[in-house]
Amino acid sequence: MTGKGLIGLLICGASLCLPLPAAAAEETDFDKYLRSSNIVIIQSQKYLDAGEYDNALKLLDLGIAKYTDKDVLYALKGETLYKNNRLEEAEPILRQALQLNPLNEVAKKYIEEIRTTELAQVSTEWQEWMGIFRDKVGDFIVTFLAFGCAFLAGSAIAPIKLKLDLYSARRFFDQGNYDEFLDLTEGLLDQEKFAPLRSNFRFLLRQKNFEDAQHILSKHVNTPERLPTLLRILERENEKLQEAT
């Protein structure tokens, strides 16, 4: 064997003994859990219980990509996002779990938790607003404003009322009460509150396909004159969601 050949073998042998880069080692660690969906679930739950949310989410994303029809993986990812205070991201994932399995109790539980948390946040904002007014003008004026002159405080109350309306609309939708859902949505159109209106339609499109969403609007909108405008907004939001995916 020539000197060059011997050097080449030595270099190759040394390279085999070198430690893997951190990223490759991490990937290998996750790969070993992907042999079955049950292993992904068990290890992700361990990460979650240990508060290692980033690791849990990385593993769950890999698991979902490989086992696309496992509702438990989606529910576990939604739970992880919820416990990491990422509520807006958690809800669509939890609803994907319910689309795969409407009886998934974990997904149902955490969707309800999100609704309760949102309502509690609104209540807290209301209490803070009342506390500020109480400090400034006294209990009597607060009571008078709240019950007799609500229009004076309308600018402060409006954002809280809007959140309550959005919360109520989505609760009605979850209950299958599309009339009430669209009553509140149509009200947003009358008030020219287009951002929350589009938000409601994005919520609708995450639960129903575009054709079903169109059918719900056509069947349950109360004022026919509003229907073309609402359908046009729905179509735009559907296009945006399709582009995002």
Q: Are 76 and 48 in contact (CB under 8 A)?
A: yes
Q: Give the integer Cα–Cα distance in Å for 140 and 150.
A: 14
pLDDT tens digits, one per residue of 57-107: 999 999 999 999 999 999 999 999 999 988 888 888 998 998 899 899 998
Q: Give the integer Cα–Cα distance in Å for 188 and 8.
A: 73
Per-residue pLDDT of the chain (245 residues; tens, 9 = 90+): 444 444 444 344 444 444 444 444 445 578 889 999 999 999 999 999 999 999 999 999 999 999 999 999 999 999 999 999 888 888 889 989 988 998 999 988 888 888 777 665 555 555 555 555 555 555 545 555 555 554 444 455 556 666 666 777 788 888 888 888 888 888 888 777 888 888 888 888 888 899 998 999 898 888 888 888 889 999 999 998 888 76
Number of C-beta neighbours around residue 200 at 10 A: 22
Contacts (Cβ under 8 Å, ≥6 apart) of 84: 53, 57
85: left (phi over 0), alpha (psi -120 to 50) or beta: left
How much of the chain is in helix, strand and coil states, percent to nearest 5? 85, 0, 15
Could you state, in order of their start, the residue ranges of all structural domains in the chain? 29-115, 158-245
Q: Give the integer Cα–Cα distance in Å for 202 and 18.
A: 50
Domain 29-115, CATH class in plain words: mainly alpha
Backbone angles phi, psi at 104, to 5 degrees: -65, 110
Contacts (Cβ under 8 Å, ≥6 apart) of 4: none
